[in-house]
Amino acid sequence: MSDPLLSVVRGGVRLFDLGRPLFVGMPQSPNHPQFWHAMPRRHGDVVRADGGSAASDLIVTGTHVGTHIDALAHVSQDGALHGGADAAEAGRGGRFRDHGVHTIAPMVRRGVLLDVPRAIGGPECPPGYEITPADLESAAAAQRVEVGPGDVVLIRSGWGSRFDAGPAEYLGRETGVPGVGEAGARWLAARRAHAAGADTIAFERLPPGRGHALLPAHRVLLVEAGIYIIEALALEELAAAAVWEFTFVLVPLNIIGATGSPVRPLAVLADG
């Protein structure tokens, strides 16, 4: 249902669109409210005296749908958010004044793509494969890039090529889904990344048949290290172009107190 994501050249700048299209029935986490789009007012329902008409839409969606960012309020551990904030108190009234998505500043930062399948061999990581610190090191070395403080690190597993195959294939509940585990998350935290993203539904490794039962990388990144997580990225075109470093641009919706937001990130390069 989605059109190919094409890079464009405008005014000497090359853009790669890293966001997925939003449509009813798209692959998304079963833990979040589904995306729904309807058109309650169509052309011709109301016609003005001069013959003009307007259509309008209604969107109902969870905040962790499509390509999206997790705010630090999204995950707690033993009742506490990042920095020790009391999770129940912070969310009093149904909105997180501490660590809600409204606290995420617009990002214009150095981005790094680590193409793990290219480093380990093969078009994609195997189902349920744990991307280790050694894999991340190998990818960085092969691409001659270093991850530094404040970077946004995007990790390609190759699983993103399954997005258009439908929810069952992309979610991989029975097969498992590749991604970083706790050790890989600690590798990112040690390098003081600002945010980390992946081409999968949950960023981190999902073991076969277990779904989202345990998410240790979320705990390490969101709660312990204060590193934002970006999920369901479209990374295939960026990897095919062998673009490993770029300016990463992302702006969340300014929803007061929300735990996340749909986003449409861009990788920006100076053309030539």
Instruction: Print the domain residue range for 157.
Output: 8-21+63-270
Q: Work out the angle at residue 200's Cα, subtended by the Cα atoms of residues 198 and 206, and round it to the nearest 5 degrees.
A: 110
In a domain, residue 173? The reply is yes
The string of DSSP letters for 189-225 reads HHTT-SEEEESSSSSB-B-TTTTTS--HHHIIIIIII
- 3-state SS class at 183: helix
Q: Is residue 31 part of a domain?
A: no
- Let me know if residue 140 belongs to a domain: yes
Instruction: Round to whole Å and give the CA distance between 243 and 114.
Output: 10
Work out how many domains the chain is built from and give that number: 1
Residue 33 lies in a domain: no
pLDDT given for residue 74 in this prediction = 97
State the pLDDT confidence band at 2, using cuts at 50, 70 and 90: very low
In terms of Cβ atoms closer than 10 Å to its own Cβ (0-12, 13-18, 19+), residue 129 is buried
Residue 32 resides in a domain:
no
**Mean pLDDT within 96-105:** 95
Note the pTM of the prediction, 2 decimals.
0.93
* Token digits of residue 87: 């999770």
Quick check: 3 pLDDT over 60?
no
**What's the CATH number where 185 sits?**
3.50.30.50
3-state secondary structure of 113: strand
What percentage of the chain carries pLDDT values higher than 90?
89
Is residue 112 within a helix (H) or strand (E), and if so which, with residue range?
strand 107-115
pLDDT value for 159: 96
Any idea what DSSP says for residue 262? E
User: Is residue 71 assigned to a domain?
Assistant: yes
The per-residue pLDDT for 4 is 37
pLDDT band at 196 (very low <50, low <70, confident <90, very high): very high
- The radius of gyration computed from the CA coordinates of the chain, to the nearest angstrom, equals 19
